Amino acid sequence: MKIQIYDTTLRDGTQSEGFNLSANDKVRVAQKLDEFGVAFIEGGWPGSNPKDVEFFERARDMQWKNALITAFGSTCRVKGGPEDDANIKALLDSRTPVCTIFGKTWTLHVKEVLQTTNEDNLRIIEQSVAHLKSNGKRVIYDAEHFFDGYKADPSYALETLQAAIRGGAEMVVLCDTNGGTMPWDLQHIISEMKSSITHPFGIHPHNDSEAALVNALTAVREGAIQVQGTINGVGERCGNVNLCSVMANLELKMGYECLPKGNIQHLYDLSHFVAEVANLTPDEHLPFVGKSAFAHKGGVHVAAMRRSATSYQHIEPEKIGNKMRVVVSDLSGRGNLLSKAEEHGVEVEGDEVVGVLNDIKDLESRGFSFEAAEASVAIMLKRQEYGYKPPFELIDFFVNVEHRDKRGIFAEAMVKVRVQGEVLHTAAEGNGPVNAMDNALRKALKGYYPQIEKFHLSDYKVRILDSDHGTEAITRVLIDTRNSNSRWSTVGASANIIEASWRALADSMEYGLMIAH
């Protein structure tokens, strides 16, 4: 059975606090969604703002392979008809093949928000749908607050659906607008609704009670053929149902078809693409699409995983474009490090990792954290490999920071390292102590390792671990480095921030040289 995926990231999603898209961003996301294979893309509310106007103008001249572009709006105003309603006119002017309009289901909203009668609300719904339909539009009707409305007055809630159906709506969508409906209540209401409504219906759940996903899947089991939601669950307040989880569960767990065959394997990329376009840090703890969704930290888990990958994973992560990861920490066992060695191509035996494991546990007790610093773990393992010779060894370093007249703050670093048997003594300036150390180390190494010129420090994070110790507190430093092909992270920790930085910096250079060969 085919389930329609109706994406409203570009409209309902942008009502999320901190989630903003330009018109160009909307076009890029829409193109990605179309390529992915969703059935409907709701582009926005035409006439409500210049960005949405621009999006619809651009969208009408584009070729769409899988999706129908949809314009969203409301029913016509009270004491008026759709023929002279500005909102309805904007929907028609958008020139989309599909229009989605919402109307009032809950008597509370009819009386206190619209301030009209129940009968007039039914007229508004039917006439608004019929007018759009008569102008050649396919119409989807969103029954706002359907479940709250049904609890307040079941017969009237069903009358509003019948009004939309009489007007010509091809789909009526049951909206849990406040996100407070429990799954058992939702199932009971839909079951009762089906005794009098045989029209195709969909579901639009919000996540205010953390029940949006189970409500969406329950509705599908009860016969819903359309799910409306957003990528990564963005949306007003606590968000909409996360379509990434909806699509993965429908296709991989429930046997439904909702995408072109094979496209579910691009789900991870879609999730991260939308986050990047919106300039947001991806939520790596999301089910299915987060980097942590298949990350294994506990030693017992990893030991079992090395024998059977299904022992602690509910699906194969590759099915949605993700991958299994092993995290190294003080909770790790030998299996974690053996897996990490295999991942980085380091040849060590089981007994050889015991010392590294003990070092990691000891270092974590002193402030290190290796979960986000896999390159430091890889280097520790590499140093156990038979015949491995580090590309350089630190002998001394010196850092000086001072204020000079007419120059301001000034940093200078000196490093003394041994490279291939030769002792090199170099100094360099920088805009701060870490930058000066970085420049001095590069100056010493680049004659032997010219590839180091392609290493770029891309992030530098500092965290104070025991702030109650004041200036004597342990400082953890995490450094991200990248070259044209890779990105890696290293860690250092010490009561001296310069020492912590040096350790993270030295590991970063050594790891980069290791993978460059």
CATH label of the domain that carries residue 262: 3.20.20.70
The whole domain housing 340 covers 291-382
Q: Is the same domain home to 341 and 449?
A: no
Question: Residue 280 corresponds to which tokens in the numbers above?
Answer: 């947001």
Q: Is the pLDDT of residue 377 over 70?
A: yes
Nearest to 12 by CA among 124, 171, 142, 126: 142
Q: Give pLDDT, residue 334.
A: 47
Q: Is the same domain home to 207 and 117?
A: yes
Q: Is the same domain home to 146 and 175?
A: yes
Given 351, 382, 413, the domain boundary residue is 382
Mean of pLDDT over the chain: 87
DSSP string, 117-182: -HHHHHHHHHHHHHHHHHTT-EEEEEEETHHHHHHH-HHHHHHHHHHHHHHT-SEEEEEETTS---
* CATH code (residue 437): 3.30.160.270
Residue 284 inside a domain? The answer is no
Q: Is the same domain home to 406 and 332?
A: no
Average pLDDT over residues 98-113: 95
Q: Give pLDDT, residue 474.
A: 80
Confidence of residue 330 (pLDDT cuts 50, 70, 90): very low
Q: How many Å apart are CA 333 and CA 350, to the nearest integer?
A: 11
Question: Is the distance from CB of 482 to CB of 458 less than 8 angstroms?
Answer: yes
Question: Is the distance from CB of 59 to CB of 43 less than 8 angstroms?
Answer: yes
Q: Give pLDDT, residue 355.
A: 56
Residue 285 inside a domain? The answer is no
Task: Output the pTM of the full model.
Answer: 0.73
Question: Is the distance from CB of 102 to CB of 142 less than 8 angstroms?
Answer: yes
Residue 286 inside a domain? The answer is no
Residue whose entry in the numeric block shows the structure tokens 């429930």: 254
Q: Total structural domains in the chain?
A: 3
Q: Is the same domain home to 344 and 443?
A: no
Q: Is the same domain home to 270 and 319?
A: no
Residue 282 inside a domain? The answer is no
Residue 283 inside a domain? The answer is no
Given 331, 350, 382, the domain boundary residue is 382
Q: Is the pLDDT of residue 305 over 60?
A: no
Nearest to 274 by CA among 10, 458, 478: 10
Q: Is the same domain home to 352 and 406?
A: no
Q: Is the same domain home to 65 and 158?
A: yes
Given 277, 312, 338, the domain boundary residue is 277
Q: Is the same domain home to 495 and 410?
A: yes
Nearest to 101 by CA among 167, 181, 21: 167
Q: What percentage of the chain has pLDDT greater than the value 90? A: 60
Single-letter code of the amino acid located at 95? R
Q: Is the same domain home to 114 and 262?
A: yes
Q: Is the same domain home to 31 and 97?
A: yes
What is the CA angle 253-258-264, rounded to 5?
A: 70
Residue 71 inside a domain? The answer is yes
Sign of CA dihedral 238, 242, 246, 249: negative
Q: How many Å apart are CA 472 and CA 470, to the nearest integer?
A: 5
Q: What percentage of the chain has pLDDT greater than the value 70? A: 85
Residue 299 inside a domain? The answer is yes
Q: Is the same domain home to 128 and 210?
A: yes
Q: Give pLDDT, residue 88.
A: 95
Residue 388 inside a domain? The answer is no
